[in-house]
Structure 1
Amino acid sequence: MKTRLICAALAASAAYCVPAFAQSNDTLERLGSFRTTGTTEFITVDQNSESADAIRSTLERIELPDGFSIDLYALVPDARHMAVGPQGIVVFVGTRKTEVWAVTDRDKNRVADEVKNFAPSLAKAIPNGPCFSPEGVLFIAEQNRVLQYPAAEFFYESPDVVAVPVIADGELVPEEEVSYNHTARVCDIGPDGKLYVSLGQPYNVPPAEKMDLYNEQGIGGIIRVNQDGSDREVYTHGVRNSVGQDFHPESGELWFTDNQVDGMGDDIPPGEINRQTEAGQNFGFPWYGGGSIRTNEYKDAEIPADVVMPVVEMQAHAADLGMMFYSGNQFPDEYKNGIFSAQHGSWNRTEPVGARVMFTPVDAEGNVGETVPFAEGWLDENGEYLGRPVDVAQLRDGSILVSDDLAGAIYRISYEAPQAQ
């Protein structure tokens, strides 16, 4: 088994190294028994540093529709996917590193007062994907496990929190398939009360000999389990790397983004937003690299007859990540039940694109309108990224948050109707 080593220097000439999974499992046992670990310190993030002013300066260039404004909500290092607590007390923010951040607006002025690491006594590996159940149980999908944290909005004030394995370390994907590529998981609780977890596959295009294993495990798809981890099934097939999902507020159907194959050119294949209407559907990868563009590796292979094509094709290589359906009451009616999605920006396109928040109108039957830019300006005229949006989440007041892992920040976008002239 692969191990990540946590080394504590005991003397100038020696170090004692404990495998991270062993340390983590021992800590889980203590936390599960409501016993302390001895951890007393948090990492806190200074919200008044010079970088805050620099980020506010960048936000002055962000273009939004009339009536909308964007402000710095919090400085959050490596901010990725977000989960807003059902009680509205705290926002949990995942990273592709080792921390999950707890972001609290204590005085409710819509700016965070405190950012500190969550559950510091417990080692984590790429805890990218937090999500909440309606009952207030926090789930965090890591590189190769899923943990649940009951009553996280209450326990987060302590370094020690209740943590329970849902999918144990090493069991989300087989250890031999653990990769540094496409390991940022996301999760959601569906209307059926089950937990949905995306499993990006590690290749640009996987070799044919891997496909049976991947189809069996749900790698390159989305799996569904009960909240205790039982009854695992592959809910979604034919996905390259989905890092954004949500359920339609009216139909309860799962919708998700997918990132297309690299190396086929600047303008193909397109990114995707997909709509799933029943369990087990196949969305075309690796036969299609995005949209209807065939991959070179599978161009002569027979395409499954039941492939479902995307409902929205996005600009190629804009890197569509987090998405959410808007259900709030603050924004104008035309945004109700529509999709806000974050484009992280291209990494290998000759002319960069993306780094913006998009909006796609969706009606009660799931029909989509034209996708348009909603917030843009993080990519400047020189092709330099000033920020890279990752995820979108909704606060209880109907405003939305946008995370940015380049700037290490979360922004808040709010609406106030323009005054009549």
Structure 2
Amino acid sequence: MEDRMRHVLLAATTAGAMLAAATTGVQAQSNAGNLEKLGQFKSTGAMADIPLIPQTGPKADAIKKNLAKIKLPAGFKINLYALVPDARHMAVGPQGVVTFVGTRKNKVYAVTDRAKSGTAEEVKPFAPTIDLTLPNGVCFSKDGFLYIAEQNRVMVYPAAEFFYESPDVVAIPIVAQGDLIPKDEESYNHTARVCRVGPDDKLYITLGQPFNVPAPEKAELYKKWGIGGIVRMDRDGKNREVFALGIRNSVGMDINPKDKTVWFTDNQVDGMGDKIPPGELNRAPQPGLHFGFPWYGGGKVRVTEFGYDKETPPANVVFPQVEMDAHAADLGMTFYSGTKFPKKYQGGIFSAQHGSWNRTDPVGARVMFTSLKEDGTADKTEVFAEGWLTADGEYIGRPVDVAQLRDGSILVSDDFAGAIYRISYER
């Protein structure tokens, strides 16, 4: 691990220098200065004590009461694991020490269950001396490097589980601010990135395109950058390439540990009706595939905007493994590699539906489960956990991501309630 850390530090020196030179304004200069110091293992002189997020009180009590409404298969139970403001995507440390939680704001949180009681007792901001912009995507390599994919930057923290208790951590930009996508393509829409480190030791990142449907003149630029697709690169940020295209806005991705295929969710075109087009769960067994957007708005539903339905789609479009309910907002997903859940769940996919915002009859706000066939393709999809959407259409929670703890239980994040739940099984 020390050799890997030295390699990443050396490779990131140029990017760090460029970042420092490009920043303007007093706050930006301070941030760049902190990054430079941290990359050199120097202290920023920041506060020694990081404020903790309270884990008890009326809010915790109200969420626990709401969890009594969640329906699960027999033998499963759900409890409040932690209060985490704006909780989005999660990365469980390989040592099982800390779970890191991204947000669509400016913080990443470190969540610790020191007693291994099934409930976290400590939640606090991670790396508070660094300014972050929409740090939604968090993922770990097997050797303990934490990657954070922001809206337009990628950071690596080579020893996050070791340094997380300090305000100063080793932090290096492997993709400098403004280099993940062109600055002119930054938007308020579809900004949440997700990432994974693959078995090929490459870093995979989803890049949602910012429009409901992009104009044709954007096609070449987006193809070049992998916007509306998935890109992959070496873990030091070098040798970037486009892995997949034809993806509207993927906010969930994982890699099947059994056959090494990349799977991802995709949110489909709005404004076509309550029940079309379907959301997607996709499988990419190899690089270079095209998943149909914007010629297809979801599944095999053609897009009429900009006349895409009058054009011939790319050859060999790959259609989804699973068509989900339209506008349910399928987000985070994970393969279940544990043995604590019943056999039917082992090796399958748990995925989160955030819930619709534009249906007259709301749907979603639940956790889905998809089993796989022997050949590695999708078999059956069913509701696993539901109840965050009440009978009268009110949201009491909106699941975002699913992650697995080392004890075989799973975590579900909820950015609406600002919470993480733990689902366990008792035989």
Tell me the alpha carbon deviations over residues 373-403 of structure 1, each in whole angstroms, 9 at most, x when there is no partner. Answer: 0000000011000000000000001000000
Greater per-residue helix proportion: 2
Partner of 2:16: none
- In the TM superposition, 1:259-270 aligns within 5 A as 259-270=267-278
Report the equivalent of 1:310.
320
User: Do the aligned residues in 2 keep the contact of 1:21 with 1:169 (CA within 8 Å)?
Assistant: no
1:30 aligns with 2:37: yes
Q: Residues of 2 paired with 1:319 and 1:39: CA distance? A: 40
**Unaligned stretches of 5+ residues in structure 1:** 1-16
Closer/same/farther in 2, CA of residues 272 and 328 from structure 1, 3 Å limit: same
Aligned pair 1:49/2:57, yes or no? Answer: yes
Describe the superposition over 1:106-151 as per-residue Cα deviations: whole angstroms up to 9, x where unpaired.
1111100100000000000000000000000000000100000011
User: Aligned partners of 2:377, 2:197: CA distance in 1, in Å?
Assistant: 23
Which of 351, 354, 357 pairs up with 1:341?
Answer: 351
Q: CA contact under 8 A between 2:105 and 2:133: conserved in structure 1?
A: yes
Contact kept? 1:251, 1:364, Cα under 8 Å = no
Contact 1:250 1:364 in 2 (8 A): no
Go from structure 1 to structure 2 and tell me whether the alpha carbon gap of 1:20 and 1:173 turns closer, same or farther (over 3 Å shift). Answer: farther
Contact 2:364 2:389 in 1 (8 A): yes
Q: How far apart are the structure 1 equivalents of 2:374 and 2:156?
A: 32
Q: Residue type matched to 2:394 in 1?
A: E
Cα deviation, residue 20, structure 1: 5.2
- Say whether residues 1:191 and 2:206 are aligned partners: no
Q: What is the aligned partner in structure 2 of residue 403 from structure 1?
A: 413
Superimposed CA distance per residue, residues 156-193 of structure 1 (whole angstroms, 9 cap, x where no aligned partner): 01000000111110000000000010010000001100
SS in 2 for 1:299: helix
Q: Counterpart of 2:221 in 1: which secondary structure? A: helix
| Residues 19, 309 of structure 1: alpha-carbon distance in 2 compared, 3 angstrom cutoff | farther
Residues 136 and 76 (structure 1 numbering): CA distance in 2 closer, same or farther, change over 3 Å? same
Match of 1:10 in 2: none
State whether residues 251 and 365 of structure 1, in contact with CA within 8 Å, keep that contact through their aligned partners in structure 2. no
Counterpart of 2:364, as a letter, is G
Rounded Cα–Cα distance in structure 2 between residues aligned with 1:148 and 1:290: 34
The reply to whether residue 324 of structure 1 matches residue 300 of structure 2 is no
Residue type matched to 2:87 in 1?
A: A
Q: Gaps (5+ residues) in structure 2?
A: 1-23
Matches within 5 A, 1:214-363: 214-297=222-305, 298-363=308-373
Q: Is the 8 A contact 1:198 1:223 kept in 2?
A: yes
Which of 123, 127, 134 pairs up with 2:142? 134
Alpha-carbon offset, residue 25 of structure 1: 2.1
How far residue 91 of structure 1 moved from its aligned partner, in angstroms, is 0.2
Query: Percent sequence identity over matched residues?
Result: 64
Give TM-score, length-normalised by structure 1. Answer: 0.94
- RMSD of equivalent CA atoms: 1.0
CA contact (8 A) 2:280 2:324 kept: yes
Going from structure 1 to structure 2, the CA distance change for 1:192 and 1:379 (only over 3 Å counts) comes to same
| Structure 1 residue matching 2:379: 3-state secondary structure | coil
Change (3 A) 1:19 1:195: farther
Q: What secondary structure is seen at the aligned counterpart in 1 of 2:130?
A: coil
Paired letter, 1:301: E
SS of match in other structure, 2:111: strand
Instruction: Give the one of 359, 376, 398 matched to 1:366.
Output: 376
1:50-80 CA distances to partner (integer Å, 9 max, x unpaired)? 1000000000000000000000000000000
Instruction: Label 1:210 to 1:22 Cα distance change in 2 as closer, same or farther (>3 A).
Output: farther
1:281 aligned partner, one-letter code:
L
